């Protein structure tokens, strides 16, 4: 079929979307902050019962309707009411996430290049190098953001099959190889067993309601839910393909990579006697110092590690823009080129605003109500728009879609019991979990 994924292409592309900074940068530091093993266990449950459930929800809507997000909601609804098009708002969070995701990927690209030179040898130097990059070095940040944004635009211009599928076909195996290499290296370190212990021996004392919500939020982010990315990719999945099996494979790959990244990073940290709870600076500050102590080998590892992050991030980034492209192409008859120029310019400019808002020079003019533009974009998407989208998707499927239709689609691939469990989760459990997360993020509970 023209411009459709092959089955393997879909799995790779959806896994490429899912596996990103969320797995290699965020998962290890959040796990570190919440003390390891117990958090990992809660996270696994969140992936299994909530993340996978919503993933299947997006996939079933997309594959059934074979359209852009707005049209898919209309087509799948019982009433076929045109007002469901407003559900299409969720695609814009993809563009906003992409704008600052591209900036962060730019920082990582900067670390790829610094790894060729001299890495900072103590955490003070590493901290100030990072600080200088984001608060003073406007020119470098703009150049790196431009390179990343340009690559994303170049890839999506070529379409689903020759652009997105192809880049995933190349980068995902390479990412896997680099991570395997790093994992083998960490096997050789004495601290590997400490890392294993840290990640799998549950210490329940650190688990409170914040940890539960962090695990839930992480499960959503890492599976790329709540912006219509999975829905849009699924719309290019052949109609008879087994979306349940593909979704399960994606969730397993995503989880396996997060765990692998965690084992690698904690082995490195413990080997150097560093803290596991360093927060977001873990990858940008703690790791370079460790690598610098390992001489040339450290440099090679550093380059591989940051290249892996760039690869993982690029395949996620292309999935954030695709929902908007499909929306303009299908609903407004834009050519792919015109849609890409429009959406590409929007996220590129938002990205520049985001990066400027953290520099000393522009901080004041780009801070509103105590939050800079970068933090606003992050907050508006991950704390407001994405949870709302997820709640909307569940309520939609649970209450506004013909249950018979869903049953027919699911039971072509799984047993009736599995369908019933999924339906119960989507109708009652998941909405309650997300509403709790949502109210908590807004500081209401
Ligand atoms: N899942 C990716 C990660 O873990 C990020 C990502 C890709 C994403 N597409 C998304 C997050 C859509 C939210 C929405 O890094």
**209-223 pLDDT tens trace:** 888 888 988 999 999
For 167-197, what is each residue's pLDDT tens digit? 999 999 999 999 999 999 999 999 999 999 9
For 306-317, what is each residue's pLDDT tens digit? 999 999 999 999
For 268-323, what is each residue's pLDDT tens digit? 999 988 888 877 788 899 899 999 999 999 999 999 999 999 999 999 999 999 99
Distance in angstroms (rounded) separating the CA atoms of residues 311 and 261:
14
φ, ψ dihedrals at 236, nearest 5°: -100, 20
What is the predicted pLDDT for the residue at 273?
86
Q: Of 144-148, 374-378, 392-396, which range is least confident?
A: 374-378
Ligand 1 mean position, distance from CA 136 (Å)? 28
Q: Of 87-96, 120-129, 223-232, 396-405, which range is least confident?
A: 120-129
Token pair for residue 357? 């808002």
Neighbours of 162 (CB within 10 A): 12
Token pair for residue 404? 């018979």
Give, using CA atoms, the residue closest to atom 10 of ligand 1.
Answer: 224
Among 171, 227, 231, 321, which residue has the most ligand 1 atoms within 8 Å of its CB, making it the best to mutate? 227
Q: Which residues have CB under 8 Å from 224's CB, separation 6+?
A: 14, 17, 18, 20, 230, 316, 319, 320
Average pLDDT over residues 403-413: 97
Coil, strand or helix at 381: helix
Ligand 1 mean position, distance from CA 17 (Å)? 6
- Beta-ladder partners of 368: 371
Q: How many residues does the chain have?
A: 445
Helix%, strand%, coil% for the chain, nearest 5: 80, 0, 20
Ligand 1 mean position, distance from CA 194 (Å)? 30
| Selection from 291, 282, 283 nearest residue 117 by Cα | 291
Give, using CA atoms, the residue closest to atom 8 of ligand 1.
Answer: 224
| Selection from 152, 159, 182, 151 nearest residue 28 by Cα | 182
Among 99, 221, 233, which residue has the most ligand 1 atoms within 8 Å of its CB, making it the best to mutate? 221
| Selection from 129, 151, 4 nearest residue 66 by Cα | 4
Residues with CB under 6 A from ligand 1: 17-18, 20-23, 94, 97, 221-222, 224, 226-227, 229, 316, 319-320
Q: Of ligand 1's atoms, which has the minimum distance to the CA of residue 21?
A: 15
What is the predicted pLDDT for the residue at 288?
93
Give, using CA atoms, the residue closest to atom 14 of ligand 1.
Answer: 224
**Torsional sign, CA 23, 28, 33, 37:** positive
Beta strands 371-372; 367-368: pairing state:
antiparallel
What is the predicted pLDDT for the residue at 2?
60
What is the predicted pLDDT for the residue at 64?
95
Coil, strand or helix at 238: coil
Q: Which residues have CB under 8 Å from 159's CB, separation 6+?
A: 3, 336
For 18-62, what is each residue's pLDDT tens digit? 999 999 999 999 999 998 999 999 999 999 999 999 999 999 999
Give, using CA atoms, the residue closest to atom 12 of ligand 1.
Answer: 224
Average pLDDT over residues 1-25: 89
DSSP single-letter state for residue 367: E
Contact 73, 257 (CB under 8 A): no
Q: Is a pLDDT exceeding 60 seen at residue 1?
A: no
Mean confidence (pLDDT) of the chain? 93
pTM over 0.85: yes
What is the predicted pLDDT for the residue at 195?
96
Instruction: Read off the pLDDT band of 103 (50, 70, 90).
Output: very high
φ, ψ dihedrals at 152, nearest 5°: -60, -45
Q: Is a pLDDT exceeding 50 seen at residue 359?
A: yes
Give, using CA atoms, the residue closest to atom 9 of ligand 1.
Answer: 224
Q: Of ligand 1's atoms, which has the minimum distance to the CA of residue 23?
A: 4
Contact 422, 409 (CB under 8 A): no
Q: Is a pLDDT exceeding 70 seen at residue 437?
A: yes
Give, using CA atoms, the residue closest to atom 6 of ligand 1.
Answer: 224
For 330-350, what is each residue's pLDDT tens digit? 999 999 999 999 999 999 999
Distance in angstroms (rounded) separating the CA atoms of residues 101 and 313:
8
Strands of 248-373, DSSP E = 367-368, 371-372
| Selection from 130, 379, 137, 136 nearest residue 278 by Cα | 130
Residue with tokens 């944004």: 149
Q: Of ligand 1's atoms, which has the minimum distance to the CA of residue 254?
A: 4
């Amino acid at each position: 079929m023209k411009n459709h994924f092959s089955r393997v292409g879909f799995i790779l592309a959806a896994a490429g979307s899912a596996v990103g900074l969320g797995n290699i940068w965020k998962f290890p530091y959040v796990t570190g902050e919440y003390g390891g093993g117990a958090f990992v266990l809660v996270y696994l449950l969140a992936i299994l019962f909530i993340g996978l459930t919503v993933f299947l929800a997006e996939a079933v809507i997309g594959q059934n309707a074979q359209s852009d997000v707005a049209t898919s909601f209309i087509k799948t609804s019982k009433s076929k009411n045109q007002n469901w098009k407003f559900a299409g708002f969720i695609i814009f969070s993809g563009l906003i996430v992409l704008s600052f995701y591209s900036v962060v990927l730019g920082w990582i690209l900067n670390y790829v290049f610094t790894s060729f030179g001299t890495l900072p040898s103590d955490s003070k130097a590493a901290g100030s190098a990072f600080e200088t990059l984001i608060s003073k070095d406007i020119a470098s940040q703009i150049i790196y953001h431009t390179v990343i944004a340009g690559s994303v635009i170049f890839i999506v211009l070529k379409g689903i099959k020759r652009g997105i599928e192809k880049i995933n076909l190349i980068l995902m195996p390479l990412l896997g190889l680099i991570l395997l290499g790093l994992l083998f290296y960490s096997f050789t370190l004495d601290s590997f067993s400490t890392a294993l212990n840290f990640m799998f021996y549950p210490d329940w004392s650190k688990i409170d309601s914040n940890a539960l919500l962090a695990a839930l939020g992480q499960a959503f982010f890492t599976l790329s839910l709540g912006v219509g990315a999975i829905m849009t990719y699924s719309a290019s999945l052949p109609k008879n393909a087994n979306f349940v099996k593909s979704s399960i494979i994606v969730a397993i790959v995503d989880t396996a990579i997060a765990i692998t990244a965690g084992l690698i990073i904690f082995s490195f940290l413990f080997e150097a006697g560093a803290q596991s709870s360093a927060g977001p600076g873990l990858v940008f500050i703690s790791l370079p110092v460790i690598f610098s102590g390992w001489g040339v080998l450290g440099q090679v590892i550093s380059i591989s590690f940051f290249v892996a992050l760039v690869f993982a991030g690029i395949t996620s980034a292309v999935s954030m823009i695709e929902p908007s492209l499909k929306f303009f192409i299908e609903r407004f008859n834009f050519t792919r080129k015109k849609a890409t120029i429009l959406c590409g310019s929007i996220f590129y400019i938002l990205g520049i605003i985001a990066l400027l808002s953290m520099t000393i020079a522009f901080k004041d003019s780009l801070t509103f109500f105590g939050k800079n533009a970068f933090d606003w974009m992050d907050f508006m998407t991950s704390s407001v728009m994405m949870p709302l989208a997820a709640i909307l998707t569940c309520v939609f499927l649970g209450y506004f879609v013909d249950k018979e239709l869903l049953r027919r689609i699911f039971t072509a691939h799984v047993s009736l019991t599995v369908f019933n469990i999924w339906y119960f989760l989507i109708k009652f459990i998941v909405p309650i979990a997300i509403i709790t997360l949502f109210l908590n993020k807004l500081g209401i509970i």
